[in-house]
Amino acid sequence: MNLRHLEYLRLVVEQGSFAAAARVAGVSQPAVSQGLRQLQAELGAPLLVRQGRRSVPTPFARRLASEASGLAERAASLGAAPAPAPTHVLRAGVTSTAAVICGPVLHDAWCAGRPRRTLRLVGGDEGSLLRALQRHELDLVVAARPRGELPHGVTGEPLYQLQPQVHARRGHPAHAITSLAELRGLAWARVEPHVRGPVRKLPCQADS
């Protein structure tokens, strides 16, 4: 059995699509598809089923992907152990959004008043950062929770929750709105950048 094909399966389950799995793995989408077909033939059990226009992992595939994560970690441990980071260096993996929001907080908490300490920020997507955490290349990761279960040996804690707000002029029909459900009756709505963190602009046209 090709361990690379097991890795493709794990990424498809975690990332939710063949295209996303291929991007994280650094290969083409056909390579992922071909690898999963070979793996399915070797196992003699279906790994993906069609739901509408999408292929979704079977329960067996999800269990196998979970086991593959642990297998990859054990296989990596057979190699040379990475050199431990100096105790005065904190290696933090952050996505681009987390770097803007949490980077200054991490720096203040780790470095303020301690001139010998160093914060080392490493950027990337949540999948690659969590795998680096499993390999002991990072000390912590601040990122969105991935789809499905967390990788083997990784625990997660929520840091914050978004609290969207509606702003409207006095006299406008939206001024009295108290829930997101009531926004359905509006002709349009627009989300602008938040003053404390970047969010993408999202013009929304309501259904007629």
Q: Pairing state of beta strands 118-123 and 140-142?
A: unpaired
What CATH number is associated with residue 27? 1.10.10.10
Q: Pairing state of beta strands 188-191 and 202-205?
A: antiparallel
The proportion of the chain whose per-residue pLDDT surpasses 70, expressed as a percent, equals 75
Residue 168 lies in a domain: no
What CATH number is associated with residue 108? 3.40.190.10
Residue 193 lies in a domain: yes
State residue 92's pLDDT score: 92
Kindly state the tokens that stand for 188. 């349009």
Structural domain of 139: 82-161
pLDDT digits (tens, 9 = 90+) for 153-194: 788 887 766 566 667 777 777 777 777 677 776 766 565 554
Residues 53 and 96 in one domain: no
Give the least confident one: 53-57, 77-81, 103-107: 77-81
Per DSSP, the three-state class of 122 is strand
Residues 96 and 132 in one domain: yes
Rounded Cα–Cα distance for residues 14 and 20 (Å): 9
Residue that finishes a domain, picked among 25, 47, 77: 77
Rounded Cα–Cα distance for residues 120 and 132 (Å): 14
Q: What is the pTM assigned to this prediction?
A: 0.42
Residues 71 and 86 in one domain: no
Other C-beta atoms closer than 10 Å to the C-beta of 128 total 17
Can you say how many angstroms the Cα of residue 75 is from the centroid of all Cα atoms in its chain? 23
Residues 39 and 91 in one domain: no
Whose structure tokens read 């989408």? 29
pLDDT at residue 93 is higher than 70: yes
Residues 46 and 19 in one domain: yes
State residue 203's pLDDT score: 41
Residues 9 and 69 in one domain: yes
Phi, psi of 7, rounded to the nearest 5 degrees? -65, -40
pLDDT digits (tens, 9 = 90+) for 116-151: 899 999 988 888 888 888 888 899 998 887 777 777
How many domains, in total, are found in the chain? 3
Rounded Cα–Cα distance for residues 172 and 182 (Å): 14
